[in-house]
A and B are shown apart, each in its own frame.
Chain A
């Protein structure tokens, strides 16, 4: 089949991002031609400021090298400005006469700096700040001239001013408004920013209207203001705003209104022509930041690929100033109004200012200065429109989202040196991450994880990585929405998959994947285990449990170790054992020459270093139930001694633990589930850091949920107090069942509770008595007839050939 022809006008970040997204999903659909009017391949425009500040070179910021275009069979014309579109014959013409035919046309013509229409604006030495040429002009000017004036105290103007100062010029920033960055900051934050920049040696003239530029021999020499003041200037940078480039589209008769008008699929009024980036007007808005462009690119690519899915519905943007040493973040509506509330923290001496604007229990805007650690978090709450009343009292103090271990106790990336380790699992330093972001053009956490491995193991440092990304990219960084697709095999998120499994009653993986239009024939190692869990948790006793979609540990009911051997942990209900069990364990350890016998943190015994082919024989000899120490499911119920022996004990915690462990034995869950039962508030079983922690008191039992002793210590929250033993089972069982039914695969209870809120959990488990009983019944139903998987394997040896090694 002959390929369709796609012509892209504009070789910038929006256009090329669309092409990249398109190649990912439909690599062979188009024959692609790209026209760019600059002499360079696609580069990272948002990194021009670091180039001007001597922090990077032009080579560092190239995103797609000429080789990349060649490898992907893309014809690239540089220095080629398109000046005519012939829609009737579907042709575009470049100024030099080159032409190209298209079946689909993508306009990504970007924007240009707005030049004030004042006398002298055409003098030599008066420039905008948009591309590599402008950047080089500034660097060259700094070698010869002394006085620079930047007109416009917005993000771009301040970055230009900072760069020119570093290049050695005397820099004055002229701004019309009362304070800097008036579209991003309130007055207080702007004043703090101005002071920091003044300390760096920049000069400011606020509330100044420029009247004209004067020159000598054709080159600018001074800037004159309406109040008569005049200051010397050898270089004038105009940074008062941008204007979308839509003249080309307009001349071809495509509807434009201060930008190329597109619908939610990024299509223009000509159905063969799409447009993305700064040149478009979507729902009346033109964007000048990179994050929205990438969202547009993704949507546009799905339509170019003929998938017909995806809508762009506009973006909420956030900004950050890329001036080294200055931390500033702003997002959404930060001025507020009559119906909004504010939370403000202001430490003038410490140089920290934080303001959150709240409306109807949701954050609608934020301004952070000096400490922007939580910028991404606030932005996420804003984008996800999350109610905040539950966290309101500590909202201002941040998310504290980082794990407490593995990165030297650091929680602020800006305070770390390049040599300091960010990811303790994979040994990745801050410098390595920064370098990868800049050189490889990374924009998302997933990019960084893939390229550097930082944050890809335990995940405790993801918050730090995010800070590093945000500070390197400035406005280019958009935190991932918490509502993302399960994996690359589907566009559906976890909740949508669960809903479809329920609605269509999918009972096996092939049906589910076909029904939900999975893009890959049999998924991947990320989605298959999740999908398998959703099937069996939604349709217990009916859905087919697919062993090949389970991680090896759950497939063979043992824990794989680094050398490929396994560990075997028999269940000891409530951590109670007998001399007889201990003798059996000792005999087995001897018989199979187990290299290590270890007591676990969950009050049982671990036999480590067992060969796979010995597993079944060993289970037969042990004749004890599996402890599920390998499972996303119930692990242990840790107990203290309790009232049977302990002089302080108020309740029989040991028996309670045994009963819980027996009741919920064999339970699969989205992630591992740990219980503990203590017999008195001294809490020797550490109930405060368990998924379900139970503490006996004289008058009954307190139930706590969502604790975690892992990567990040999370203290369990009080759920309720109950009187009887049976109530403990019912309440904790209902809680776990709702978690089993509603959490995302690989969510621990704490992650799930953080997302839905403890109020929701209380409503389901405490207030709704019928619902609670029903949930508990569903759990008992799901567990009905469950058997010890070890015994089952021993009985049906012949059906599990995979345990046998073939020897040649």
Chain B
């Protein structure tokens, strides 16, 4: 059974930035895009496990800080020609608060 859990206020995530959440399901990175969309990915790059939460966010992608793999925030898929996938988590924003389904 999954539940929506209130995690953080939207304004406490920097635009084009992220926050790190430690949960029972491991580390989850919550990203905020320029246009205030919010995404949640497992904090591990499919390449060598780099902490995606620390990467540079642009458009709806994040560049891994370790070796610059580009991961889609939308589906966790690595950009070609790299191949790999990071798990995604459902996330929503209500009344300025970010909720994670976990």
Report which A residues bind B (CB closer than 8 A): 450-451, 457, 520-525, 528-529, 547-549, 551-552, 556, 560, 562-564, 612, 801-802, 805-808
Residues of B contacting A523 with CB < 8 Å? 58
- Give 15 A-B contacts (CB < 8 Å), ordered by A residue: A457-B67, A524-B61, A525-B63, A528-B58, A529-B56, A548-B17, A548-B56, A556-B54, A560-B65, A564-B50, A806-B20, A807-B21, A808-B5, A808-B7, A808-B21
Count residues on chain B whose CB falls below 8 Å from chain A CBs. 37
- Please tell me if B57 contacts chain A, counting CB pairs below 8 Å: yes
Residues A524 and B14 in contact, CB atoms below 8 Å apart: no
Residues of A contacting B56 with CB < 8 Å? 525, 528-529, 548-549, 551-552
Q: Which of A548, A551, A805 contacts B20 (CB 8 A)?
A: A805
Residues A451 and B81 in contact, CB atoms below 8 Å apart: yes
Give the distance to chain A from B38, nearest Cβ to Cβ, in Å: 14
Q: For A450, A562, A563, A806, which residue has the most chain B Cβ atoms within 10 angstroms?
A: A806
- Please tell me if B92 contacts chain A, counting CB pairs below 8 Å: no
Give the distance to chain B from A544, nearest Cβ to Cβ, in Å: 13
- Please tell me if B73 contacts chain A, counting CB pairs below 8 Å: no
Residues A802 and B17 in contact, CB atoms below 8 Å apart: yes
Q: Which 4 A-B pairs have the closest CB atoms?
A: A525-B63, A564-B51, A548-B16, A525-B56
- A457–B67 CA distance with the chains assembled, in angstroms: 8
Residues of B contacting A450 with CB < 8 Å? 81
Residues A522 and B21 in contact, CB atoms below 8 Å apart: no
Give the distance to chain A from B44, nearest Cβ to Cβ, in Å: 9
Residues A562 and B66 in contact, CB atoms below 8 Å apart: yes
Q: State whether A548 and B19 are in contact (beta carbons under 8 Å apart), knowing that A525-B70, A560-B66, A808-B7 are contacts in the complex.
A: no
Residue of A nearest to B68 (CB): A525
What is the number of contacts between chain A and chain B, taking CB atoms within 8 Å? 83
Residues of B contacting A529 with CB < 8 Å? 56
Residue of A nearest to B32 (CB): A548
Residues A801 and B65 in contact, CB atoms below 8 Å apart: no
- Please tell me if B55 contacts chain A, counting CB pairs below 8 Å: yes
Residue of B nearest to A801 (CB): B12
Residues A808 and B59 in contact, CB atoms below 8 Å apart: no
Residues of A contacting B23 with CB < 8 Å? 807-808
Give the distance to chain B from A285, nearest Cβ to Cβ, in Å: 36
Residues A802 and B50 in contact, CB atoms below 8 Å apart: no
Residues of A contacting B21 with CB < 8 Å? 805-808
Question: Which residues of B (40-95) have their CB < 8 Å from a CB of A?
Answer: 48-51, 54-59, 61, 63, 65-68, 70, 81
Residues B65 and A522 in contact, CB atoms below 8 Å apart: no
Residues of A contacting B100 with CB < 8 Å? 808
Q: State whether A552 and B55 are in contact (beta carbons under 8 Å apart), knowing that A524-B63, A802-B14 are contacts in the complex.
A: yes
Give the distance to chain A from B17, nearest Cβ to Cβ, in Å: 5
- A753–B71 CA distance with the chains assembled, in angstroms: 36
Residue of B nearest to A489 (CB): B58
Residues B59 and A525 in contact, CB atoms below 8 Å apart: no
Residue of A nearest to B33 (CB): A522
Q: Which of A548, A551, A560, A564 contacts B57 (CB 8 A)?
A: A548
- Please tell me if B36 contacts chain A, counting CB pairs below 8 Å: no
Q: For A450, A552, A807, which residue has the most chain B Cβ atoms within 10 angstroms?
A: A552
Q: State whether A560 and B15 are in contact (beta carbons under 8 Å apart), knowing that A524-B63, A552-B65 are contacts in the complex.
A: no
- A805–B12 CA distance with the chains assembled, in angstroms: 12
Residues of B contacting A560 with CB < 8 Å? 51, 54, 65-66
Give the distance to chain A from B30, nearest Cβ to Cβ, in Å: 8
Residues A522 and B34 in contact, CB atoms below 8 Å apart: yes
Residues of A contacting B7 with CB < 8 Å? 806, 808
Residues A808 and B12 in contact, CB atoms below 8 Å apart: no
- A457–B5 CA distance with the chains assembled, in angstroms: 40
Question: Which residues of B (1-25) have their CB < 8 Å from a CB of A?
Answer: 5, 7-8, 12, 14-24
- A217–B51 CA distance with the chains assembled, in angstroms: 76
Give the distance to chain A from B26, nearest Cβ to Cβ, in Å: 11
- Please tell me if B102 contacts chain A, counting CB pairs below 8 Å: yes
Residues of B contacting A564 with CB < 8 Å? 49-51, 54
Residue of A nearest to B102 (CB): A808
Give the distance to chain A from B72, nearest Cβ to Cβ, in Å: 13
Residues B54 and A808 in contact, CB atoms below 8 Å apart: no
Residues of A contacting B8 with CB < 8 Å? 806
Residue of A nearest to B52 (CB): A564
Q: Which of B54, B58, B66 contacts A520 (CB 8 A)?
A: B58
Give the distance to chain A from B16, nearest Cβ to Cβ, in Å: 4
Please give 5 more A-B residue pairs, beta carbons under 8 A apart, in addition to A521-B34, A548-B56: A522-B16, A522-B34, A548-B15, A805-B21, A807-B23
Residues A808 and B22 in contact, CB atoms below 8 Å apart: yes
- A327–B9 CA distance with the chains assembled, in angstroms: 64
Residue of A nearest to B56 (CB): A525
Residues of A contacting B14 with CB < 8 Å? 547-548, 802
Residue of B nearest to A549 (CB): B56
Residues of B contacting A556 with CB < 8 Å? 54
- A421–B61 CA distance with the chains assembled, in angstroms: 32
